């Protein structure tokens, strides 16, 4: 009997640890887009940030990312979501958080210039990753703006 209770408690802990990340509200003025983004329309401060989480993150529900820029909440990006906002050329500190069995949090320093147009953020197995790509992936028609 004790063994069954122990197994039940362990299973509950495992499943509750994989619960989804609580969303945060954006403190930025995000830009609504009505059509599929085209990379030539970005740059000079207009930045598209998207969550490029892979299939494995989608399966275990660890794809949602909470993002802060210089301590100001950008909001939550779920898998296949993007935001558009204005960030003037400067150096920014991105804090990214995702939840798997535990909360993974990382801080990245990114230098944005007039050429910066597209930024990819995604969770990894032990942390988070951010890249300035300046291109939109071919399957971007499946992505949606957070401001629907």
- Token pair recorded at residue 15: 């499943």
- Nearest 5°: CA angle at 77, between 72 and 81? 135
Position 33 scores a pLDDT of 86
The answer to whether 61 touches 21, Cβ cutoff 8 Å, is no
Position 129 scores a pLDDT of 94
Q: Where are the domains of the chain?
A: 2-145
Position 19 scores a pLDDT of 58
Give 7-19 pLDDT, tens digit per residue: 766 665 555 555 5
- Nearest 5°: CA angle at 81, between 33 and 114? 60
Coil, strand, or helix at residue 16? helix
Position 137 scores a pLDDT of 82
- DSSP code for 146: S
Position 56 scores a pLDDT of 65
Q: Are strands 90-99 and 128-132 parallel, antiparallel or unpaired?
A: unpaired
Q: Which of 97, 119, 117 is nearest to 52 (CA)?
A: 119
| Strands laid side by side in the 103-112 sheet | 72-77, 65-69, 90-99, 103-112
Residue 57's CB is within 10 A of a number of other CB atoms, namely 21
Position 94 scores a pLDDT of 97
Spans of the chain below 70 pLDDT: 8-19, 56-60
């Amino acid at each position: 009997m004790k063994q069954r209770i122990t197994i039940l408690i362990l299973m509950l802990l495992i499943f509750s640890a994989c619960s989804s990340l609580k969303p945060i509200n954006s403190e930025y003025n995000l830009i609504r887009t009505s059509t599929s983004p085209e990379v030539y329309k970005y740059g000079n401060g207009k930045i598209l940030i998207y969550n490029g989480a892979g299939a494995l993150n989608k399966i275990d529900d660890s794809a949602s990312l909470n993002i802060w820029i210089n301590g100001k909440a950008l909001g939550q990006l779920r898998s296949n979501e993007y935001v558009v906002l204005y960030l003037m050329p400067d150096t920014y500190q991105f804090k990214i958080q995702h939840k798997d069995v535990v909360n993974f949090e990382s801080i990245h320093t990114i230098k944005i210039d007039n050429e910066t147009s597209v930024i990819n953020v995604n969770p990894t197995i032990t942390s988070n990753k951010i890249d300035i790509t300046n291109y939109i992936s071919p399957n971007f028609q499946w992505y949606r703006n957070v401001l629907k």
